[in-house]
Structures are given as structure tokens and as C-alpha cells.
A and B are shown apart, each in its own frame.
Chain A
Amino acid sequence: MALFKLSINNRSYDADVEQDTPLLWVLRDNLGLVGTKYGCGIAQCGACTVHLDGKAVRSCVLPVSAVGKGKVTTIEGLSEKGDHPVQKAWDEVDVAQCGYCQAGQIMTAAALLKEKPKPTDQEIVTTMSGNLCRCGTYHRIREAVKVAASKSNQ
């Protein structure tokens, strides 16, 4: 066990865990941030996507010891009131069926738009194809990313 000081959602957290513990399980089991989901544990589905220094990463394969001084953002910290353009677009387009994968989808989309505020259709599909949605809400995910892109530039 070792003590890790983590910066998550602009707050400082202490976690006393083994150094190989994936960030995902530190968030969920130790810090009570359960918005980040477990789906596969091998970086295949994207349900665990968080931002590390603004970039989308898979927290299920990121050991807590590798986070260092990096700034972590989870779905809980994407916006204060749930009004990030991507979150708003997800509601407007009514994307979710079961909803389990959507935090990861939203974090992936938010990172994409931060890097490329006006992505092409192909860039949206290529980026979002890394995230699985078992319910098959892909059409609406694609549409919501476009809606968010159009609104965040106004």
C-alpha cells in the first residue's frame, strides 16, 4: 500500500492503495466517484474513459502510480451543473437507452471537441468507434457530437 495524492476534478484526494491499482477502481472503490464505469478492464470498450490533462484515457488500464501530478477529470467534474455542451447535447438528442456506456462516450466526445472543435463526420466516427454501446445508440451519439460541436462554437 502507498499513499497517492491525486488531483481530480480540481480537488485534491488521498488514496491509500497498492500502486498497480487501476485509476478506475481507485475512483470507484476508494473515492466514491462511480460515474466512471467498468466494462471490460482491457481498454476495449471505453466505458471507463476519463481525462488526464485534458486527453481521453482508459482508466481501467491506467495504474494509479502512473497518474503522478496529472489532472484527472471524471464525468462528475466535466461541468459543475451538468451543462457542458456535450452533456446538454446528449439530453437534447435523447441519446441514452440503458445509459451505462454514456459517461465514457461523453468523456471521449468532450476530449475530441476540445482538441478539434469542428470535427469532420469521419473524425467523429473514427474517434467514437473506440467506445462500445451495447444498446446500439450509435446514430444518436454521432448526432449529439455534431450538435455539441455546433453549439460550443456559437
Chain B
Amino acid sequence: MKIAAAAGGGLFLGFNWTNSNALPVVVDAKSIAAGSIHFNAYLSIGIDNIITIVSPNPEIGQGIKTAFPMVVAEELDADWKLVKTVQGNLDTTIFERQVTGGSGAVPHSWERLRNAGATARHLLIEAAASTWKVPAAECSTENGNVLHKTSGKSLTYGQLAEAASKLEAPKEVKLKSEKDFKLIGQSVRNVDNLDIATGKPLFGLDFYREGMLFALIQRPKAFGLKLKSVNADAAKAMPGIVDVVTFENSVAVVGKSTWQVKKAKDALKIEYEKGAELESTADHNRIFTQLMDNGEATVRRKNGDAEAAFKGAAKVIKAEYQCPFLPHSPLEPMNFFAHVREDGVELVGPTQTPDRARTEVAKLTGIAPEKITVEITRQGGGFGRRLAADFVLEAAHVSKLVKAPVKVIWTREDDMTGGIYRPAVRYRFEAALDKNGEMIGYKLRGVGINSGNPTREDNFPSGSVDNLLIDSVEHKSPITTGPWRAPITNFLAFAEQSFLDEVAEAAGKDPVAFRLALLEKAKKSPAGEVKYDVDRMIGVIKMAAEKSNWGKKKGVFQGFSVYFSHRSYVAQVGEVTMEKGKPVLKNVIAAVDCGIVINKSGSLQQVRGGVVDGVGHAMYGNMTFKDGAPDQTNFNGFRLIRMSEIPEVDVHFVDNGISPTGLGEPALPPAGGAVANAFYKATKQRLRNQPFINEDAFKGIS
């Protein structure tokens, strides 16, 4: 912005991203610098050739702030070195789906971004053609210039911006052929690298404002407790403390610095009373067993007659798998800034759902949404935790009560014990084989604690088994849950892919050949609807088998896993070797079909990071409860994977030209299965529960 303004009242060519026929808008640079313009969804070209692209979706480490502008710049034929990226604030009048979740931002915006860039390019060519009085068809673009090759003339986009901004935008514009992509598919470095490496204030927790107060909140220490009484006398008398306020079951200590507030919070005397069951992990284990056999199940999918198939089976395989609750543990804990005034609300901070944050604050304060602004900061991870708006509401509550700008900060202990966890789930899988080893029946029951539907009933192997029954049972608990990176599939994929490994073994078949045969069956004679792309799944299976040299490595124990989630397909091979009699996870080979890869560097790391996340939580992630209170409160009790514990991760992308289909989550679900199946090959011991380190098979090994 500053650069543009320094260029001296330059003109901007703006484009609305939400319309496919992007509308040009002429904007005075001075008014942009003054912040008085009424829109911010634009791509602008300054007369100094600087191209500014607004990225509206929250950046939590998935690389959207780099990938989005790349797509616009590609169609625009911009010089990437002259592109500046700006994080957009919440504006539902011009942006759609300003959400980071479901690995959905790129699939949603792909066409829109391309159209925005292509429309601008079209207008710049028109402006040049008219200046030179030559047909537009004779002009081409390259690296931020329009060229007329016959005459050797050229003009920069900056020189053409003003004239182009006065032309009418075409309703339809031709997009590049994918084979002509120059920027898309390259490795482009994170646009915020320098700011990150020099410690610039980028994150929500880094937001400070003159006169801002700090708030820490004491929430009930166990799920099921409610607030009875508060004695805040000692806390209020401590240095730097401005006020102690109570709302719902929370007590907020408000003061002038984080440390002063933290000490005062520890001095609160609070009494709680029981408001619901105080559940322990032992209760959950008992509940799982009871509901698995006697729970009232909701049928999710039914094909053929599973009972009959099992009765007539030559062999039946049955196994149960269980996972614990997990906190998200983003390294930047929850926090948010709010300033509730009589005439409006200012919200600043890390949220994956700025629109939800605004809507809920509007409900709480009675202030109309259009009078509430949301500034989106860079976010120190999200993993689904910032899809909720509880921490934003807390900031609004406190600001409203103390009538001052307030930043609510969660300590790590607050973040880990504050709820909204990955739900704990137990699965029972059953498979019926005929005398030829064909899977003729398949049953899955999922029992979840606040999990909603813990199955993904239309995923593979559904469609490939004639007689199938998938159902689920829910237990309602005071322990709060929510989406956790690759919701449900983060554990279901491991359980299902491990079980299929058990079935393949019982059938006397190679795990890869077994899966391929099922997919061929889903293709040729599908059992019911098939809601995944069989060919794409086969594609990644074959690629992973080929790249890992499946079944042909001496002294290496390989395990296979493949999963479809968030529109993308990922197959993984885990490799374990025996060192001094102990199994060691050495490698994970991943084959990924996410359609067109926009940023090679970002995408490669997204897959590696997803595998590390998947392996780490499968190995170590464990949250247990005693009388409603989490046993793990910080990283000394809750173990996250560290550098010394990672396998090498070898990543391969399928090149099929399909429009992008999501990558923030799909690499995580298959990781646990690839590891557990390799571990089984090496040790003949099945890992059926997470975390793996607590399994008997692992005792004495790690």
C-alpha cells in the first residue's frame, strides 16, 4: 500500500473476486493509503508495477497466502517478484467462504482466482492494443509486460493500469491451458518468510494496542463442574489488576500485563459444584464396551444382506480399534482481542472462521454484524481448534464487562484443558470371506463420545463389498469435542486400513493386490453408490507401490495404507527395519493425488507435515481424564513428536491435470495405518489402539 501511495496518487485496477466477470474499479492510491475505501477484495496494479493481491482466507500454516496469489499471478502473467500479498479482513459483501477448514479453500477459489487474473490480463492487452492501434490478437504478455512482437513495442502493466481500468471487463475470459503454466507447479517460497525469520508481529498474540488490558480466564477445572462462588479479594488487591469479572462459568482476571494477571488468577478462590457427570477414562472404556454390544445404533449404510453373508462365510475376521481424546495443541494458544463499544465492536486475532466469530459476537452483544469488524492475523497453527469461536466470545464478554479493549490469552494449560477435543472413538470391524478369500461381507460399528457420526460410510471399502452394514452409537458427554485436522478420518483411516491388512492376511493375499481387487470390483460391479473416484484411488496405490519398490526390498518391512479424504487421494508405505532386535520406523513413502499442485514447495511440506502429525499423534498422543479433569495439562505430560522421532518422508504427486482438490488434511489419515502395518510385518504384533506406545506390543521397545 505504501509503495503504491508513494508512487503518487496512482490508479488501481481492482477486481471483485466473487464475480466470475470481475469488475474493474478505479481507486485513488491516496484513499487506499488513508484506509477510506469501501472494498478490499481486489487485485490492484500500481503505476510502479507493484501488483497487490488480497488473500481473504485465514493463514494457519497451510500456505494459502502464497498459493492464492500464485494462481492470480499465473493467469495475469505477472512478474512474481513484483507481487505483494495482503491478508484480507472479514468482508462477506465481497468474499465468499472466508474459512480455513475442510481443505476447501483452493478447490473453492481455483476458478475465481484464475478468472480474476485472466480478466486483468485481457484488459491490459486491450489497453495496449488501443494505445498502439494494433489488433489485440497480435499482442501477448510476459512477466508483467504487454508485448507487440511485430513492432517490438512493449509497455509494463503499471504503464497500462490507468487506461486498462477504464475499459469494460468482458463477461467471459479465456483461461490459460494448463500446459502453459509457468508459475503454478513451481516451488515458491512462503511470502512471509522474512517477517517470520525476523520476529515481526504477525500473530494474534503479537497484537498490542495502547490502553489494551490483558485477561486470563479461570474455567471449571473439570468437565461437568459449574461455578458456585468466587472470592476475588486477594486477586483484586494484587499489583496491576484492574478488575475480576464473572460470566457463565468463567472468572476473568483483567489487568495490565500477562504475568500480573496470571499470578492473580492463581490467587482466585473459587468453589464449584457438580452440574453433570464427572467422567473418567475408566468410565469411557466401560461405556465403549457396553455400547458396542448393546447401544442403540444408527444405520449409516446398508448394502445387500450382511447377516446372511456372515452366516455363510468360510472365515470371519473381527477386530476392535480405539483412540483417545486429543487436544489440538497449536503452538500459539487461543487468544483474541476485542473492543466492545456502544457503536460497534472491533475484533482482532487468529480465527479459522471470522464470519462465525462475528455472528456469535453480534448475538452476544446485540450489536449488528455490519458494525463489527474482524481483522484476521496470521495464526500459529489451527488444526480445527480455531473453527470454534468460544475464545472470541470470551474476549467480547470481558471487553463488554470492563468497557475497555481487552486481549484474552489462554495459557498452554488453558489450551490443553479447555476442551473441544478430537473425540474418543472405538470401532469394531468384521469381515466375512468366502472359501476363495473374497470379502463377501463387511461390518463396521463406531461408538463415539460426542463424535457425531464416527464413520465415513461412503468411503472405501463401501461400494466394493456386496453385503455391508455400517452403523454408529453415540455417547453424550460433558467433555466438549470438535473437528480436529481430518475430522474422524484422522483415526478411522488408521483403524480401517489396519483392519484391511488383517483381512488381506487372513485371505492369503498381498495387501496391495487385495485393495486393488476390491477397487476393480467397485468399478465393474459396484455394491450401491460409489462416492469416491476409483481410478484416482487405484492411481495412488500403484504409484506408492512403484515408488516404494513394494515387496521387493530386503530387510525392510513395509506396510500399506491408502485413504480418500477432502476430495484427495493419498497412499502411503511405511518402512520399518530391525535394529538390535528392535523395530525402527525409517521411511514413509507417500503418493498424493490432489489434482494440480499449485506450489510445489508448500505442497511437499504440507504432505510431510501431515505425515509427521499423523505418525506423531498415533504414536504418542493421549489425553485421559480423572473425574472430568484432563490428566495432561502441558507438553510435559502430553507428548508431541520431536525431530529425533520422525521418519524420512518421500513425497510423490500424481500429475493428472485435475483441478486442485485439497491438501491441508488428506496426508494425515493414512499415516497411522502405514506405520502400524509395517510394524506388524516386522514384529507380528498388531497395534490396534492409539497411542501406540501404550500398547503391549510396544512395551520395552520405544
Contacts and interface: CB of A to CB of B under 8 A. Distances in A.
Contacts of A37: 203, 205, 331-332, 380
B601 interface: yes
A17 B260 CA distance: 9
Given A17-B259, A138-B612, A98 B379 contact: yes
Contacts of B354: none
A137 interface: yes
Given A133-B331, A138-B643, 8 more contacts: A34-B205, A42-B634, A98-B332, A103-B197, A106-B197, A134-B381, A139-B608, A139-B648
A100 interface: yes
Nearest to B257: A29
Which 5 pairs of residues, A with B, have the shortest CB-CB distance?
A35-B199, A100-B380, A98-B61, A136-B612, A75-B199
B635 A42 contact: yes
Contacts of A21: 257, 259
A129 B643 CA distance: 5
B642 A132 contact: yes
Contacts of B330: 98, 100, 134
B35 interface: no
B275 interface: no
B412 interface: yes
B609 A128 contact: no
B193 A91 contact: yes
A141 B646 CA distance: 12
B193 A90 contact: yes
Contacts of A97: 61-63, 190, 605-606, 609
Interface in A29-46: 29-30, 32-42, 44-45
B642 A129 contact: yes
B144 interface: no
A132 B642 CA distance: 6
A130 B63 CA distance: 25
13 contacts: A21-B259, A33-B199, A39-B333, A41-B411, A47-B331, A91-B197, A94-B187, A96-B197, A97-B63, A98-B382, A126-B644, A138-B642, A139-B646
B196 interface: yes
A126 to B, nearest CB: 7
A17 B198 CA distance: 26
A45 B269 CA distance: 30
A40 B205 contact: no
A32 B641 contact: no
A135 B257 contact: no
Given A34-B201, A45-B331, A134 B649 contact: no
Contacts of A1: 239
Contact of A29 (B258, B411, B635): B258
B636 to A, nearest CB: 5
B616 A82 contact: no
Contact of B635 (A28, A36, A40): A40
B190 A96 contact: yes
Interface in B594-646: 601-602, 605-606, 608-613, 616, 634-636, 640-646
Interface of A: 1, 17-18, 20-22, 25, 28-30, 32-42, 44-45, 47, 74-76, 78, 82, 87, 90-91, 94, 96-103, 106, 125-126, 128-142
A44 B636 contact: yes
A135 B61 contact: yes
Nearest to A100: B380
B201 A94 contact: no
B196 A132 contact: no
B518 to A, nearest CB: 31
Interface in B160-202: 187, 189-190, 192-194, 196-202
A125 B643 contact: yes
B333 A38 contact: yes
Contacts of B636: 42, 44
B464 interface: no
B331 A39 contact: yes
Given A98-B331, A135-B61, A40 B259 contact: no
Nearest to B332: A100
B490 interface: no
A126 B642 CA distance: 10
B378 interface: yes
B331 A134 contact: yes
Contact of A98 (B193, B378, B610): B378
B305 interface: no
Interface in B651-667: none
Contacts of B680: none
A136 B641 contact: yes
B260 A18 contact: yes
A136 B588 CA distance: 14
B610 A103 contact: no
B635 A94 contact: no
Nearest to B641: A136
A96 B333 contact: no
Given A41-B411, A44-B634, A74 B199 contact: yes
A133 B194 CA distance: 18
A126 B382 CA distance: 27
Contacts of A106: 197
B329 interface: yes
B515 to A, nearest CB: 26
A74 B192 CA distance: 19
Interface string B110-152: 0000000000000000000000000000000000000000000
